[in-house]
Amino acid sequence: MNDEEFEERRRKLDEALASKRPRDPESEQGGKGSASGYAMALRLSSEFIAGILVGTGIGWLFDRFLGTSPWGLIVFLLLGFAAGVLNVLRSAGMIAEPEDGRKAPDRRDEN
Amino acid sequence: MANDPIHQFHITKLIPIEIGGLDLSFTNSSLFMVATVATAGAFLYLTTASRGLVPSRMQSISEMSYEFVANMLRDAAGTQGMRFFPLVFSLFMFVLVANLLGMFPYFFTVTSHIIVTFALAMLVMGTVVAYGFWKHGLKFLGLFVPHGVPGVLVPLVVAIEVISFLSRPISLSVRLFANMLAGHITLKVFAGFVVSLASFGAVGVAGAVLPLIMTVALTGLEFLVAFLQAYVFAVLTCMYLNDALHPSH
């Protein structure tokens, strides 16, 4: 087989492949969007709940060892709530991180 | 109990071992962890053993998983992050293969136990903290002090940042565990509906079609979740490792 024949076959194959590919890239994006939306929802909710749980846990231990019940629980529950909100905003990519030149600005919104 | 949706998560001792009062028995969970490692290892070894320049189908699956994790790590943590590639790739393959093995009927799902996922998450956070302190010393604590915060607010912000940091292993482990647990329970419950409805005669059999359709659809969803959760676990590992490499906020 010489080069011209080979080029000809390659061109035909390219055409055949192009006709098989989806015309509209948007339609594929839609399917991907819903799958990663599902992942996003799970991620955000668990981030928020984890913040509150850890805050409450620290508050409970604080009270238990220092005998300040119920103030430690109250204060750390509120701090945990704030940390949960911070977690959610951060994983949603809503917080502009001060750049130090290496981090990509949108490094937190992978999915 | 054929219809008990929780029964599939019971731990049974296969080989009882007790050393110094500690229960170190080889359980069905241990068996499936060994199976997971063996499957992942054998797959990667056998598919790359022939190493064709033009990869076979199986070889390209191995290569794709390598490229996938490598790109994920490079995007999140830069080329410096590649020193953690063995850790991230092992974690990704372990979680993915464990999730997928759990999809076989009568198989045990290792990742549906929180202690397993929590151990994996603590491994990640332990690496982050140890590497951060080893590489940056006390500057690693700068992770908790954002720039440009007024002096009065610093204690409050630091407390919130510390809680946020401590909540990471929890959210990492709870997410994986809860997804696998909830998915498998839902599947079992819907599959149970099929059997109990079908015992009500002709009308029941007609009605049993609905939960059967649901079970088939959920099985597809569970395969998606199995992959997605392994992916999310690996992505978050990469992002946390990035904090260890570049702690300045």
Tell me the ipTM for this assembly. Answer: 0.73
Q: Where are the domains of chain B?
A: 7-245
Cβ–Cβ contact B136 with A under 8 A: no
Residues 174-203 of B with CB under 8 A from A: 174-175, 178-179
| Candidate from B167, B228, B249 with C-beta closest to A50 | B167
pLDDT at B234: 93
With an 8 Å Cβ cutoff, are A54 and B147 in contact?
no
- Residue B185 token pair: 């329970």
Burial class of residue A86, CB neighbours in 10 A (0-12, 13-18, 19+)? buried
pLDDT at A105: 41
| pTM for the predicted model, two decimal places | 0.79
Show residues of chain B in contact with A97, CB under 8 Å: 249
Residues in chain A whose Cβ is within 8 Å of chain B: 35, 38-39, 42-43, 46-47, 49-51, 53-55, 58, 76, 79-80, 82-84, 86-87, 90, 97-98, 100, 102-104, 107-108, 110-111
pLDDT at B205: 86
pLDDT tens digit string along B44-85?
999 888 877 788 888 889 999 999 999 999 988 888 889 999
Print pLDDT tens along chain B (249 aa).
456 888 888 888 888 888 887 888 899 999 999 999 999 999 999 988 887 778 888 888 999 999 999 999 998 888 888 999 999 999 999 999 999 999 998 899 999 999 999 999 999 999 999 999 998 888 888 888 887 788 888 889 899 999 999 999 999 998 899 889 989 999 999 988 888 888 888 888 888 888 999 999 999 999 998 998 999 899 989 989 998 888 765
Show residues of chain B in contact with A53, CB under 8 Å: 167, 170
